[in-house]
Structure formats: structure tokens, C-alpha cells
Structure 1
Amino acid sequence: MTSHSEATDTTPLPQSNALRAAENDLQKLRGRLRTVAEFIHDQAHDFEARHALAQRLGLPVPAPAPAARQTKETSR
């Protein structure tokens, strides 16, 4: 049975601090990965560069721009 003083102790355990730090790091990495994925799938940037970056990072490669859009852009 747990005594009353043990049940109300709010001192963080060393493991909880390490877990919190790891979760914060993971959140930062997920944010960076989201930024990279947005870049890879943004058709405003060079397709070859986006494709190579996706391959290098092991992420899904972007689809090429539709032919109609490529024609519009090159006719300007």
C-alpha cells in the first residue's frame, strides 16, 4: 500500500525529464520533415532537384507537373 506522502509527491523523475526532452526533439524533427516534404511537392521548384532530394532522403518522390501546366509555363 502507498503512503499518503508518496502519493502526493510531484517531484519529476529523471526519466520523465529525459522523455520530455526526447519528445521535444522528435517534434522538431517532425516539423523539419514536414517542411522538406512541402518543398519536395511544391511545383514552383525545379522538378529534378525535388526528385533527387526525395530519393536521397528516402521519401516519396514528387509527381511531374501535368503536361498542360508545363506547356503554359514554357509559353510565357
Structure 2
Amino acid sequence: MTSHPEATDTTPLPHSRDLRSAENDLKLLRSRLRTVAEFIHDSAHDFAARHALAQRLDLPVPAPAPATRQTKEATR
């Protein structure tokens, strides 16, 4: 009877390098998408630019900023 070696073979699979590369690319793209989404929803930037970018990238568009509240000094 012949014994079979345990499943301890550390030889990389033929496509493992390609898969790792694709996973790294996906990680980078997700990071960039997160950065873009943060920009789109950051009211410190121009609303028209954020809205246009969201539409162009087929992402949810930002909600318009609520009307600014008047301060006591502005109403005097």
C-alpha cells in the first residue's frame, strides 16, 4: 500500500498570482470609490460639481444642503 502525502503542498496554484493581483486591483478601486463617495457627500465642496460627478459615475447624487440658518447678527 502506498501512502499519500498530506495536503501540505505549498506550491502556488497556476492562477494564484493572477488572482492576488486582481484582488489587489479591486482593493485599490474600492478605496478610490470610497474617496469619491466621500467627496460627493461632503457639503464643503461645490454642490453642482458634486452632483455632476455623482451623475457621471452613476452614483447616488448628494442631497442639497439645507438652507443656512440666519444668525441673530444677520437678522438685526
TM-score range, shorter chain: 0.7 to 0.9
| Rounded Cα–Cα distance in structure 1 between residues aligned with 2:48 and 2:14 | 47
- The answer to which structure has the higher helix fraction is 1
TM-score using structure 2 length: 0.82
Question: How big is the alpha-carbon RMSD for the aligned residues of Structure 1 and Structure 2?
Answer: 2.0
| Rounded Cα–Cα distance in structure 2 between residues aligned with 1:3 and 1:21 | 32
Q: How does 1:21-40 map to 2 (within 5 A)?
A: 21-40=21-40
Aligned to 1:50: 50
In structure 1, runs of 5+ residues without a counterpart are: none
TM-score using structure 1 length: 0.82
Aligned to 1:3: 4
In structure 2, runs of 5+ residues without a counterpart are: none
